[in-house]
Amino acid sequence: MPEVLKLKLDRPEKLYDFILKLAESALKSKVVDSAVIFQKQKSHFEVKPILIEDEKKLSEFNVSAFNCYYPSLYGNLAKYLYLTPIKNSKNFLMFAKPCDIKAIDELKKKGYSFNGYIVGLSCFGTINVKTAKKLEEIIGQKPIKSERIDEEFLHLTLDDGQSKNFSIKELEEKGVLVRSNCKHCFDKISSSGSDLFIYQLPNSQFFIEVLNPSIKKILEDTGYSFEPNGNAVNFINEFKNKIQRQAENILSEIEEQFLKLSDSEKLKYWWDGKLFSKCTKCLACVRACPLCICKLCILKKEGKALDKSQVHLIRLLHIAETCTNCGACDVVCPPRLPISSLFQIAQRNLKKSG
C-alpha cells in the first residue's frame, strides 16, 4: 500500500501555493529539468500549458484556474504531451487531473513514452470557460486571484483579499455550468497513473499519496509539514465509493431516458431527431479527442464524405472501450452533442457484458 501523508495547510486556499512550491522544489533540486505550468490567456479563466525550466518564473503562473475551468487550448493534457516537443524533454513534472492522467496512460498503451513525473490533483468538476465568464458579472469584474472547487462549492479569493463562496447549484442556476461529463466522472479522486496524488477531501482535509517514492524528496524540500495518517486510506476509500455511486446514478439516469425508448424511437433520437441530426460532420470531436491518434484515420481522411451514422459508429467502435470521459469532444462540438455520455454508457455496457 503506498504511503499516505496528511498535508497541513493554514487555510484551504493555500493549496495552490503548495502546488507551486512543489514545482519550485522539484526544479531547484534538479529532480526534474522542467515543469508544465499554466499561463493565463486573454481572460482569467483561460489557461494554456507551457513548459518552464526556471523556478524563479513560477510566481507568474496560475495553477488554480487550470483545476477549475476546462482549458480551451489543447483541452486534455495528454493531447498537449502528444502534440508538443515536451515529449522530448529529459524529465519534466506535470500537474494533471485524473482524466488527463487516464488519457496519458492510454497513450502509453499505444506505445508513446514520456519522460516525466505526474502529480495528480483531485478534481470535482470543471466549468466550461464560456460560461465561467459569467462569473465576472456575478462578482462585478473584480479580479480573481485564485479559486478552488470542492464537492459543493466554488471558493474564490479576489485580488483585494476578499473570499467569496458560491454553491455550484446556485451558480448553475445563474448559467455558470459544470461540464456534463464531470457530473458522471468516476475518477475525481483516482490516483491511478500518478507519481504523487493530492487528495482534497471533505472538511478541507488534504492528503498526499506517494506512489513513486523516488520523488518523495520534492515533498520534503517544500518546507511544508506532513504527518503519516493511519486512517487516511479508509477515509479516501469511503469517499471514493461515494463519488462512484453518485457517478453511477447520474449515468444510469441518462441511460434510463434512452432505454425507455422503443428501438425505432432510439434510432430517431440518435440519428433523425434531436441528437445526431444536428451533427455537421465538422470532425472537431475527432481532432480534440486525446485517444484519436491513429496515423491512418479514415475519419480524418474521408470523414466528410461518410454518412453521419458511419462517422459516429466508427468512432464509437474505436474509442468507446477506452474513452476517458475527459469531455474534450463535448466542449468543441458546435451543436453541443453529449458525446462523452454516449461513449460512457457504451463503455459501461461493454464492461457489463464482459
Q: Footprint of ligand SF4 on this chain (CB under 6 A)?
A: 97-99, 123, 125-126, 181-182, 185, 187-188, 279-285, 288-291, 319, 323-329, 332-335, 337, 339-340, 343
Residue 332 · residue 75 · CB < 8 Å: yes
Residue number with CB closer to ligand SF4 (202 or 335) = 335
CA distances 327 to 42, 178, 300, 349, Å, are 23, 11, 20, 19
Q: Where are the beta strands (DSSP E) in the chain?
A: 3-7, 34-40, 47-52, 69-70, 92-96, 116-121, 127-128, 144-149, 153-158, 163-167, 196-201, 205-210, 226-228
Rounded to the nearest 10 degrees, the angle between the axes of helix 339-352 and helix 232-259 is 100
Q: State the nearest-atom distance from the C-beta of 52 to ligand SF4, in Å.
A: 23
Residue number with CB closer to ligand SF4 (53 or 172) = 172
Cα(69)–Cα(41) distance, integer angstroms: 13
Residue number with CB closer to ligand SF4 (32 or 132) = 132
Residue number with CB closer to ligand SF4 (67 or 157) = 67
Q: State the nearest-atom distance from the C-beta of 84 to ligand SF4, in Å.
A: 18
Q: State the nearest-atom distance from the C-beta of 227 to ligand SF4, in Å.
A: 27
Residue number with CB closer to ligand SF4 (67 or 89) = 67
Q: State the nearest-atom distance from the C-beta of 319 to ligand SF4, in Å.
A: 5
Residue number with CB closer to ligand SF4 (94 or 285) = 285
Phi first, then psi: what are they for 115, rounded to 5°?
-100, 80
CA distances 47 to 70, 146, 204, 307, Å, are 9, 13, 25, 36
Q: State the nearest-atom distance from the C-beta of 108 to ligand SF4, in Å.
A: 15
Q: State the nearest-atom distance from the C-beta of 57 to ligand SF4, in Å.
A: 26
